[in-house]
Structure 1
Amino acid sequence: MVPVIDHVAVLGAGGWGTAFALLLADAGRNVTLWARDPRVADAINTERRNERRLPGIELPVQVRATSDRSAAVADADAVVIALPSQTVRANMTGWALPRGVPVVSLAKGLEEGTGLRMSRVLAECGVAPDQIAVLSGPNLADEIGRREPASAVVAAAEHDLAVDIQRACHGPNFRAYTSTDVTGVEVGGVTKNSIAIAVGMAIGLGLGANAVAALTTRGLAESTRLGEAMGADPLTFQGMAGMGDLVATCFSPLSRNRSFGVELGRGVAVEAALAHGRGVVEGARSTPVVAQVAGGIGVDMPVVSTVCDVLAGLLTPAEALDRAMARELKPER
């Protein structure tokens, strides 16, 4: 018998968490959205809006918000983690999730200090590995909020679990595909943020389509190398969670990581550029972790390493460009 997922708890009322709650409601689910700030929860319940994180979007009545941790997950058939990656462990430590329900991670990052993917963090926080799924793809929150068509990949070690989540979020404007390559889907979701920062810096420097295309393509090669070294299927990086997510994040001005990179390219300091953004720029904190993990297993990631040096203040974006162009000539691979 197919498990019925009717009530979904979405933990995290940022732009992506709010947009995902909306698409779940459009797919026929009842959603409880947890917001850390009681004022955000009240505004969602009374005004049907989360104006700071998803401006101009009216939320369906099937989405109810709360700032109460226990109430958020009570009677949930599935739990969605839509928290910034570096806060997942701390938040999960204080949560008592319903036993045996699927837990879906939307978080895109590697944990500082451990280098762990979010599915591994969840497992260390007590979630059974066979109940963990991850969802990733070209999913810009503002477009999801406007109900523009979008797709993603749901990956889980257990294929049946991936299918259950796929069915739960399938709606008139959202189509999900399934995979069992959890590692590949997560690595693609992490590395694309670093590459988007690099693309943004190139745009901020006034460079054109040639530079953007080159950075995106070489970034995909780097992501694939890292994924393979970590045990992923390289074909995953040709799909929705790899190339698809990379294209959306690198090419759209709606991308927080790209926009952050543009500011850096224009000469804005890192902290000031972060302060200008709407929402969390995951790549700003995950890029050094990606570089550290890659170095530890002998994977060459020059684009990611260069972004890391810019974030650390060791290079300006213009110096980073000069370094990239001066690299040793070699075959494409």
Structure 2
Amino acid sequence: MRAVVIEEPHKLSVTTVPDPTPGPGEVVVKVTAAGLCGTDVHMLAGEFGPTRYPVIPGHEFSGEIVAVGEGVTAFAEGDKIAADPAIYCGACHFCAIGRGNLCEQWGTIGITVDGAAAEYVKVPARNCYRLPETVELRHAPLIEPLSTIVRGFDIVDPKLGDNFLIYGAGTMGLLYMQVAQRAGAGSVSVVDINADRLTVAKKLGADHVATSADDLERRLGWEVVTDCTGNIKAIEDGLTRPIRGGTFQQFGCAPDQELAKFSPFRIYNDEIRIVGSMAILHSYGRAVELLGKGVIDSETMITHQFALDEYAEALETFKRGTGRKLQIVPDKAPA
């Protein structure tokens, strides 16, 4: 089959590799589409610690099952599915206490094992979710990023009427915004230095948008401030914005060696809660249901589709901040 392979940091190829074969408890999926995200950029740059090279990227995907391994009874050839990419050992301390996303042997399809930027991908059957009839295959790769948002909300545990400030109007910020609206936010404000992105945020229902939080009128601050950029300047600014007793959530993936400055006195004096949100935990199935209910405007979110041979171009498009969710479509011919 044809596949994208990250051979090592800064080295990418599109080549022919052996077709995957399902082992016991596994299925092989013909990939309909695979979404790009910031993690893929970090992987190619050698900035995402768990990556194991060489690897086929692609952890946001959907498709149709074309082969099932021994012992698989819940799925059959022809089933349309999306899959939780997370792989846990099930035996370490963190798995034992139900925190598999912090697993000592943490793995992910498309990061530590071969993923879906290919014609076919091998997946544990236990990770698969049959799609509701209301969800199109081409929309279903949105389930993975949406499931990380669901996990983020589990951690923040907002109250009805809380006011949200979101840094970043890219894919994750816009998904976070749409979930916050449906979760009973009092208001949702979005900050992004890209004015074009703010136009989309406003279209999708943001109450207030600005290129700087200084331009937003909320004297006391926001109950929930979330960084969806991973940008150090945005993070440092965001840490100054929660209301007393409020929460700052680090949701975006910053380079693993970067450091941010903040005021420990303010954290103490104003009882600011700082929380992280790492990947997916008991949230993928709920994301399937939310997408099926139309919580996300999928058509607006997906803006670009690229062939396998255009993967490098897709990454450059992503890094320029052009569009929203970009997808790799293995069946698509290069332009």
Structure 1 length normalisation: TM-score?
0.34
Bigger RCO (CA 8 Å, 6+ sep): 2
Structure 2 length normalisation: TM-score?
0.34
